[in-house]
Amino acid sequence: MDTIDLSNLNRQFLFRQKDVGRSKAETAAEFINTRIPLCRVTPHNCKIQDFDEDFYRGFHLVVCGLDSVVARRWINGMLLSLLEWDEDTGELDKSTIVPLVDGGTEGFKGNVRVIYPGVNACIDCTLDLFPPQINFPLCTIAHTPRLPEHCVEYSRVLLWPKEKPFGEEINIDGDDPQHISWIYEKARERADQFGIPGVTYRLTQGVVKHIIPAVASTNAVIAAACTTEVFKVVTSCCNPLNNYMVFNDSDGIYTYVYEQDRNPDCLACSKVPQKLELLPTSKLQDLLDHLVNSPVFQMKAPGVTTSIEGKNKTLYMQTPVSIEEATRKNLKLTLAELGLVDGCQLVVADTTSPAAVVFELKFKTD
């Protein structure tokens, strides 16, 4: 769904000045199909979450150059959901594996990995390798802004939910120019009020999407490495990367390859029941905060349901608004007050995974 920005023109060869504002996917496909007559690229100008299992099952291999950890975790979960096991032996059916070649950059740093879902380390096995997101204290954003980023976050975190500029149930889309423009204008007003310079459209988009400025040389190296790995996987001309390559050209050029081990307790691929250990006096809000802040789970907007005396019960959901309002009161109640008991199952849905995760609740003693 991303569109071409003027700054994109300095580090690739698929887009031209006339393409600014157009869909990246459609423009890139058009260029490649014209340049290479025997190649047919089909663009999809939409979210990866808009397609179901049948769509992804049709690929022999998936290559990722996504710009967020959430999107990477989602596609990782989707490919894992395609796996099938033999009912008698319990062995993985290798024909259901869709390999994943993932590449990412952060300024002068980059990495490439080759993932065989169900066989080697997946995206969620290595969550601790992703850089932590920068968050600003709410009190600073609301009362004492000092940086242009504070003004953008004020518009995004406080004004958007309050003013609902595009409708009651519309969340911010970092790829929608209208959404970014609204946040940018509100951030400029905030910056003018406090005499803070530096609020630009590009900065606003960067803060909303957690964008780190791209370096053309790093992107080129990582893209070349991904292409090489795809060639190796598709042709079997030689062994693919095993399974993680680190690149750094901030001070000279440094590369290192090592085998990342699977996490036996991985949330996505371990097939091990996950446990949540909390006090019975903990509030539901504490449970949700744990799912978001824990380095093991790193969820974004978890919703929780359970079964009490044989009846399904929604404890909390952030969307749609009507359900959020109806379940908001549960956030202040303790787990015991909600009727949860030791050993009960909690079903958690989150944007980081296409499938819900089942947890077993274990009560800790004081």
d(CA 27, CA 302): 35
User: What are the DSSP calls for 276-327, one per residue?
Assistant: EEE-TT-BHHHHHHHHHH-TTT--SS-EEEEEETTEEEEEE--SSHHHHHHH
Tokens of 86: 């033999």
* Nearest by Cα to 203 from 133, 137, 151: 151
* Nearest by Cα to 281 from 332, 335, 328, 359: 335
Buried-exposed string 249-287: b where 16+ CB fall within 10 A, e elsewhere: beeeeeeeeeebeebeebbbbeeeebebebebebbbeeb
Alpha-helical regions (H) of the chain: 24-35, 53-57, 69-81, 138-143, 148-153, 160-163, 177-194, 201-208, 216-235, 284-293, 321-327
Catalytic residues: 139
Tokens of 269: 């691929």
d(CA 128, CA 313): 33
Tokens of 287: 């449970």
Residue in the structure block whose two tokens are 């089942």: 358
Residue 273 contacts by C-beta under 8 Å, 6 or more apart in sequence? 358, 359, 360
* Nearest by Cα to 363 from 282, 283, 278, 274: 278
Strand partners, 359: 274, 346
d(CA 122, CA 164): 37
How many residues belong to the chain? 366
d(CA 134, CA 4): 25
How many helices and strands, by DSSP H and E, does the chain display?
11, 10
